[in-house]
Structures are given as C-alpha cells and as structure tokens.
Amino acid sequence: MHTVTCGDCGDECQIPFEPKFNRPV
C-alpha cells in the first residue's frame, strides 16, 4: 500500500497501486 495525499480533500490515504505523480489521486 502506498500513502498519498488526496487531491480533493488534502487528507492522506492508502492506495493499493503505485501513484503517478503527474495526475491527482
């Protein structure tokens, strides 16, 4: 799991895939 910052709410969340830094999650 990868910890990312949500582009909508600004909270940290866990996603099961590698984040792509050129697009928001």
In tens, the pLDDT along 1-25 reads: 888 888 788 888 888 888 776 666 6
Residue 2 C-beta-side C-alpha neighbours within 13 Å: 11
Please, are residues 18 and 4 in contact by the beta-carbon 8 Å criterion? no
pLDDT score, position 19: 74
pLDDT score, position 1: 86
The total number of structural domains in the chain stands at 1
pLDDT score, position 25: 64
pLDDT score, position 23: 64
Query: Token digits for 21?
Result: 């830094």
Size of the chain, expressed as the number of residues it contains: 25
The closest alpha carbon to 8, from 23, 22, 20, 24, belongs to: 24
> What domain range is 10 assigned to?
1-25
